[in-house]
Amino acid sequence: MPVKLTINGHAYEMQLEARTTLLDALREYASLTGTKKGCDRGQCGPCTVIANGRRINSCLTLAVMHEGESIMTGEGLANAQALSLIQKAFIDHDAFQCGFCTPDQLCSATALIDEFCAGDASAVTADVRYRPPQLSDDEIRERMSGNICRCGAYPNIVAAVKTVAINKA
């Protein structure tokens, strides 16, 4: 089937089998290998991308379901001139070790901050009627909980997200 996607701002037209996951389309057809296959069951997070502004596990969805959508991967967060704020914060806070999960952590953190700024609550938000004035460590950990880091860089990831969230909110 023909599938048209905008990935990291670039138009892609692919011929895919209907059963091709978005993850496989990104890796095998668009050659964007930052998005990784971990468990292939949506439990670990290396397949996290941003589809039309919301983060999703690309291993759990078919590419044809995202026809015409805008997909952002870890490779698309920076522009030609500079890293994104969250990428800079990850470097400043040494929020990665082996790097395997870094693209998905960055996508998830980017979406997390946008969700927070939009007033979206999490499972640990004290009063879901009001957005907290800033993200607490508990809020960040809860909102990042779908992304596993085998190296255990969690404290540094939380610090990086908090730095950007404070400046953006």
pTM: 0.93
Q: What is the 3-state secondary structure (H, E, C) of 32-98?
A: CCCCCCCCCCCCCCCCEEEECCEEEEHHHCEHHHHCCCEEECHHHCCCCCCCCHHHHHHHHCCCCCC
Measured at the CA of 17, the angle between CA 57 and CA 34, to 5 degrees, comes to: 40
53-63: pLDDT as tens digits? 999 999 999 99
Positions in the chain short of pLDDT 50: none
pLDDT given for residue 94 in this prediction? 95
pLDDT given for residue 169 in this prediction? 64
pLDDT given for residue 128 in this prediction? 86
User: Do the beta carbons of residue 3 and residue 14 sit within 8 Å?
Assistant: yes
Delineate the domains of the chain, giving CATH numbers in brackets. 2-76 (3.10.20.30), 85-168 (1.10.150.120)
